[in-house]
Amino acid sequence: MRACSLGGSFCALDLRLRTGRVGEAVAVRVNCSVSLEMDEGGLDTEGKMYASRKQMWEEEAGEDAAGNPKNALKKQEWYHKGVSYWEGVEASVDGVLGGYGNVNDRDVIDSTAFLAEIFKECPPSKSSSLVALDCGAGVGRVTKNFLLHHFHEVDLVEPVRHFLEKAHADLGGITEGNRAVNFFCTPLQEFTPEAGRYDVIWVQWCIGHLTDHDFLEFFKRARVGLKPGGFFVLKENIAKNGFVVDKEDTSVTRSDAYFRDLFKQTGFHLYKTKVRT
C-alpha cells in the first residue's frame, strides 16, 4: 500500500436507496460486477499464500471468522506495527507517498475531476458551509492540495503525531477563506465523527490498515458524520485478485471485488466508481 502508484480506484458511497433516477444508474453499475468470489485467497509481500481472507485475518490480526477479536493482543500488534512503521517515516509528501511524491499532481487532478462529477450530478446544499473530513490525512497533503480548494472547512484525522503536527504547522494558521479546522490524532478504528458535520468524508490510501471488521464498523459508525445527501469517497490502490498483505507497513491491499463485498455489508449505496490505470 505504501507504493502509491497511479493505479487506483475511487468509490463514492452514500445513503440513498437504490430507487429513482440516481439509483437506477447505480444499480446497473453494481450489478455489472456482482459475481464475487466471497472468500478468495491472497498473499503477502514475502510470498506467503493464504487460502482465504478468514485465514489471513485470523493469522495476522487474531480475528475469528465473524471478524470478532479472538486474540486481542494480536490485533493490538497489527495496529501498533502499522502506526510504528509510519512513525519512522519523514513527515513530508514524499514520505507519506512512500517515495513517490511525484504522484501528487496527477492524484490531485484525478480527485478534482471525480469530485466535480459528483457535485455536478448531486449538487451540495448552498445554504451551509461545505465541510470535508480527510481520513488518514498524513501530513495534510490531500487537504492542502485538493480539499481546501473545494470545501470551506476541512478536518483531519490521523494517528501519527508527527504527521499531524506537520499538517498543523502548514495549515493550522490559515484564518481567512477556506481553512483546516480540527486536527484529530486518532486511528480510524477508534474515531467517530461529529454528527451531521460533513458533506464529504474522504478516505485515501489508509483504509488498508483496518481489518475487515474495523472497516465495516468504521463505515457504519462514521455515517452519523454525514449531512443528508453527503458522501464517503474512498480512493485506494487495488489488488488484481484477492488481497496482498504488506508485511512492512502492516496493511492489506484489497481487490475491487473484495471492496465491493465489504461495501455491500455496510449497507451503503455505491454511487460511482472510477478506476485509474
Ligand X SMILES: C[S@@+](CC[C@H](N)C(=O)[O-])C[C@H]1O[C@@H](n2cnc3c(N)ncnc32)[C@H](O)[C@@H]1O
CB of 90 to ligand X, least distance (A): 12
Q: Which amino acid is at 69?
A: P
Q: What is the C-alpha to C-alpha distance for residues 61 and 45, in angstroms, rounded to an integer? A: 16
Query: Per-residue x/- mask for ligand X, residues 36 to 75, rule CB under 6 A?
Result: ----------------------------------------
- In terms of DSSP bridges, do strands 269-276 and 251-254 run parallel, antiparallel, or are they unpaired? unpaired
In angstroms, the CA 37 to CA 95 distance is: 35
Residue nearest to ligand X (CB): 138
Find cell 488518514 and name the residue: 136
Residue 224 C-beta: closest distance to ligand X, Å: 18
Binding flag, residue 166, ligand X (CB under 6 A): no
- Options 189, 227, 274, 276; binder of ligand X; rule CB under 6 A: 189
| 5-13, 28-36, 118-126, 184-192 -> range binding ligand X (CB under 6 A) | 184-192
**Is residue 86 at the binding interface for ligand X, with CB under 6 A as the rule?**
yes
Binding residue per annotation — 265? no
Quote the cell numbers at residue 79.
495496529
Residue 129 CB, shortest distance to ligand X, in Å, is 23
* Alpha-carbon torsion angle 9, 14, 17, 23, nearest 10: -50
Does 108 interact with ligand X (rule: CB under 6 A)? Answer: no
Nearer to ligand X, 40 or 214 (CB): 214
Answer for which of 22, 27, 36, 83 binds ligand X (CB under 6 A) is: 83
Site string for ligand X, 123-162 (x = CB under 6 A): -------------xxx--xx---------------xxx--
Of the pair 26, 252, the CB lying nearest ligand X is at 252
User: Cα separation of 159 and 108, whole Å?
Assistant: 23
Dihedrals φ, ψ of 100, to 5°? -105, 50
Q: Which residues are annotated as a binding site?
A: 136, 141, 188-189, 204
Q: Which residues bind ligand X (CB under 6 A)?
A: 2, 4, 79, 82-83, 86, 96, 136-138, 141-142, 158-160, 163, 187-189, 204-206, 209-210
Per the annotation, binding residues for S-adenosyl-L-methionine are: 136, 141, 188-189, 204
